[in-house]
Amino acid sequence: MQTITAPELAMWLADENRPKPVLLDVREPWEFQTCHIAGSVPIPMNSIPERLQELEEDASIVCICHHGARSMSVAAFLERNGFTQVTNLTGGVHAWALQVDNSMPTY
């Protein structure tokens, strides 16, 4: 599994010449409502197995959670299930709020 930092992800999203990844936010609904990266797709961690068909196996997927642990577990699960371009956001939305978007609420 690959990892990416918040500033690296911000550069990727800003790069007009690079296809955008699916930003898979695996936190609970209340967490997503509190804050999220624009364009993120909310699918709580415990719903991933039953909602796998919503994701394309060959899409670039960046898994996101609060600090990076849950998303790492989901990224590993996706890889075990045939997904080939999976990346984990190191530090999660907390790192994004501290390093990229200071206006994002933290919790």
Kindly list the domain boundaries of the chain, sorted by start residue.
2-99
Give yes or no: 65 in active site.
Answer: yes
Q: What is the pLDDT of residues 58-83, one digit of tens each?
A: 999 999 999 999 999 999 999 999 99
Choose, from 64, 65, 75, 78, the residue flagged as catalytic: 65
* 2-99 belongs to CATH 3.20.20.140: no
- Are the C-beta atoms of residues 72 and 57 closer than 8 Å to each other? no
Sign, CA torsion 68/52/41/39 = positive
Instruction: Please state the pTM of the whole predicted model.
Output: 0.97
The arithmetic mean of pLDDT across residues 42-49, rounded, is: 98
